[in-house]
Every structure is written in C-alpha cells, then in structure tokens.
Amino acid sequence: MQELKSQIQQFTSPVTFESLRSFITELTLENLRFNEHIPEPEAAGDYGRNIITLEPFECVLIHWPAGVSSAIHLHEGLFGYVWVLEGELDNVFYKFQDGKLIEYSVARYGKNGLIPEPDGVIHKLANNTNTRAITLHFYYPAIESFEGMQLFNVEKRAIGSLSDNANTASWQDEDGHFSEVKTNAFDFVPFDVHHQPKTHVMIPVIPKPTSERIREMNDEYFSEQAHKYDFSDFNQPRRKAYIDGIDREIARLLQESEPIKKVMDIAVGTGRRALHIREISELNYSITGVDISEEMCAIAGERGIRAIHHDWVNAEIPDEKDFDAVTFLYAFGHIADIESRERALRKVHQVLKPGGMIFFDVFSLNNQNEWGPQASKAFDQRNLGENGFDRGDVFYKKTEFNSIAFLHYFTHEEIEELLHKTGFVEIEIRSIGYAKNPGQWVDSDNEGNFFVAARKV
C-alpha cells in the first residue's frame, strides 16, 4: 500500500471524475498487498476504515463484515469511486422528491468492480453476502470530516446531519454523532414497491462474473423458488398463455415427426411442463430430464420422470443417446457466454439421432416489450463491454426472492449462426408474444420472444 500512496502523491493532473477513473483503472489489484492493512471495525455492525492518504485526493481502505452496510447518505460537494478488492458489495441508489425517499436502482459489484459515486448521489453500500468485502475508496476533495453529511434512516423516517465527531457514515444514537436530526422527514418507497407491479427487476452484476459463478447463481435462483415454480408458470395468465402457445407448437411438430420414442428435456425443472407437452401431443414417448437444480430434479422424479442432476454445459454427455427430440425451454438464455452456448448445442447434436429435432425459446434483444432494448442501452451507457459483458446480457431477480440470475437476449442472426456452426439445418425461427399478446405468433422480433426449431444433419 505504500507504493499506492506514493503513486497517488505523485498525481499532478487536475482531479476530475474522468482523470480519477483513469488513474484507478491503471492500477493492478495483485500488486496492492492490502491484506496486512485491513482495518477492524470499532463496533459490531459497523465497517472499518484505514486512511491511506488524503492528498491530492483521499484513498481509504474499508472492511465490510458480512451483513454490514453504510447508512443511506448524500454525497454533496465531492465525487469518487469505490474499487472492490474482495467479496461483493451492493450499491443502492435513492432519490429524494416530494417528501419521499425512493429506492430506485440496485447494482452488485464483485472483485475488480468499480463503483462510480458522482457528486449529488444518494446511495448506500451494503455487503448482503455471508463473507467479508474489502474496498478501496477514492474521493475528491478528501473527506477530512464527516461533518454536515446527511444520512437517511428509513425505520425512523429521519434525516440526520453528522457532526465532526462522526467516524463513519453510519446511523448511531450516541450523543454527539449528529449535529441535527429531523424526524418524520419523509415517506419511504422501497425498491420492490417502486417497481411494482413488475415481478422481476434488473440488478446488474459488475464486472460480469465467471461462467462458473453464473452457473452457481442460476442454480441458487431456481433452487430458491423450486417449490413455487409451478405456481409462477401456470397461474399467471400471461405466462400460462405463452407456455401454452409454445407447448402446443412443439406437440404439433412432434406429431408430424412420428414415431417419437425418446425425448430429452434439458432444464426440466419440476417436470410439469415436459409432462404437459407429452399429454397434449397424445404420444407415448419416454422423457429423460436434465437440470442443474437438485431440488427440482427431486420434484420431477416424484412425478415419474427420470431426472438427472447434471450441468448440461460443463459435465460429460450422458451415456444415453439417439433421442428423437430435445427441448431446451426457457433456459437456453441462462447460459453465460457464447462459447458455452456453442458447447451446449454441440452436446445436443451428439445425443440426437440423425434427423432429430431441437426446440428452444429465447428472449429477443429487439423486443420493445421486454428488457432487450434497455439492456442494449445499458451496455453502451455503462461501458459494460469493458466489464466482460456481451450486448444483451442481463442480471435480474424476482421481487419476492433474494437470488440473482443471468439471462442473455438474442438477435435472429446470432441464433442462426450458432445453429449453423453446431450442425443444425432446417432452422425455423418465429416470434411469439410474451408480455404483450402472450402465446400469439407475431410478425417481428420487436414484438415477442423467439421460438426456434431445428433438425440435426
């Protein structure tokens, strides 16, 4: 850390938001040797601060124990960045208007993530994981005292102005911590309420985690809701209509491809959908299910499906082959990167018999009724390509759950290229309504999701 301090003190350019970012991005995490400088918090439930230097801008090392967060606070008259050295940290944004404190955006930052803190932002930093997080903060001008910084307490609906005795931006009831506290100062609108009636919200994870970590995140996401998944699928009218539209089309195509004796369902989930397709097809084929969630495999097994707990992308191909068809429904977009998607399709090609078919659905990047255009805009505005993202990558969670999942939005050309590269022909890509006109075939990828059918050479 002494070398970092020397580099900072040799900084001679005007300190701007841009020049500070350029300085930080040229640093190498592996060279910091920060472990021996990690500070311990002075009190339980607080974070620890170790000031490295205050000139020409502040650099402070902060230790966030599991479950610890800052108070919601206003940055006024200063700007800076937070560099995540270890663990994960959530950056939660708020806006204060018309007597309401509105929680409107959340992003999660992992190792090497750089959190911008522009002047005037209201936010909090929170370690919502079970392990510690370590961060390095850069501010200009230096925070030589917390005096005057405004904190917001949502439980008390209070706004406090810190005194010069405050050592951290945390809400404390000790005498002298605040110079002034205003009670009943606002109404609070939490993130999930602000986004209602939406069932899902986007939460970027920066930088993009490794493919292995994304697989773990998706597993955690679906395992968390394993016992409620059927309710989500079959009891929401729009979702049910979308599923019915695709399932009936697959049933029709299977009927036209008789005899069908064996079908593999990748991402089988609880098995209910695979059984539904077989029922409406009126065919009598066997179903082999594959899923990364052990909990969902167990439920599918209880319904009579031979379900294999298996990571389709990374594990060895199951011994059984010569399937007449493979379904990969509402799941192919969860695969983390283009190389893994190509690998997944090559494995499907290997287990299909000659002439066998694959069916899958994915979200369209151009669908104006979904997150595709929003994700594309965020890709440009947040420079997400520099953080390992591909255009169309999205992280999100259900409003009533905690786990975050990954989903990729596709273009028509992207799907065609993948299928051609992996040995599929007779490719048919159609658009079907999802949020709008659910289950109805629509004219363009601006209006719905993609349904894909292709045949093995």
Q: Are strands 286-291 and 262-266 parallel, antiparallel or unpaired?
A: parallel
Nearest-angstrom CA–CA distance, 433 and 160 = 49
Residue 206, in any domain of the structure = no
**What is the gyration radius of the CA atoms in the chain, in angstroms?**
26
Residue 205, in any domain of the structure = no
Residue 253, in any domain of the structure = yes
Distances (CA, A) of 166 to 131, 161, 451, 456: 26, 10, 58, 67
Nearest-angstrom CA–CA distance, 258 and 184 = 69
146 plus 293 within the same structural domain: no
286 plus 428 within the same structural domain: yes
244 plus 112 within the same structural domain: no
Domain edge (last residue) among 139, 166, 194? 194
281 plus 425 within the same structural domain: yes
Structural domain harbouring 356: 211-456
Q: What is the pLDDT of residue 147?
A: 93
CATH of the domain at 113: 2.60.120.10
CATH of the domain at 450: 3.40.50.150
Nearest-angstrom CA–CA distance, 380 and 378 = 5
125 plus 217 within the same structural domain: no
- Measure the N-to-C terminal CA separation of the chain; round to a whole number of Å: 59
Q: What is the pLDDT of residue 316?
A: 80
Residue 203, in any domain of the structure = no
Residue type, 45: G
Count of residues making up the chain: 457
165 plus 293 within the same structural domain: no
Phi, psi angles (nearest 5°) of residue 334: -80, -10
Residue 221, in any domain of the structure = yes
166 plus 245 within the same structural domain: no
pLDDT means per 10 residues, the chain with 457 residues, are 93 96 94 93 92 96 97 96 97 95 93 96 95 97 92 96 90 91 95 67 94 90 69 70 97 93 95 96 96 89 93 82 96 96 96 97 96 94 93 90 92 98 97 95 96 95
Domain edge (last residue) among 194, 222, 248? 194
Phi, psi angles (nearest 5°) of residue 352: -80, 145
Residue 204, in any domain of the structure = no
Q: What is the pLDDT of residue 219?
A: 83
16 plus 160 within the same structural domain: yes
Residue 201, in any domain of the structure = no
Residue 202, in any domain of the structure = no
Contact between 451 and 246 (Cβ < 8 Å) = yes
Lookup: tokens for 167 = 């050592």
240 plus 169 within the same structural domain: no
Q: What is the pLDDT of residue 229?
A: 54
235 plus 350 within the same structural domain: yes
Q: What is the pLDDT of residue 169?
A: 86
Q: Is 282 exposed, middle or buried (0-12, 13-18, 19+ CB in 10 A)?
A: exposed
216 plus 154 within the same structural domain: no
Q: What is the pLDDT of residue 231?
A: 52
Q: What is the pLDDT of residue 379?
A: 95
Q: What is the pTM assigned to this prediction?
A: 0.86
Which residues lie closer than 8 Å to 250 by C-beta, 6 or more apart? 277, 281, 327, 359
Q: How many domains does the chain have?
A: 2
188 plus 69 within the same structural domain: yes
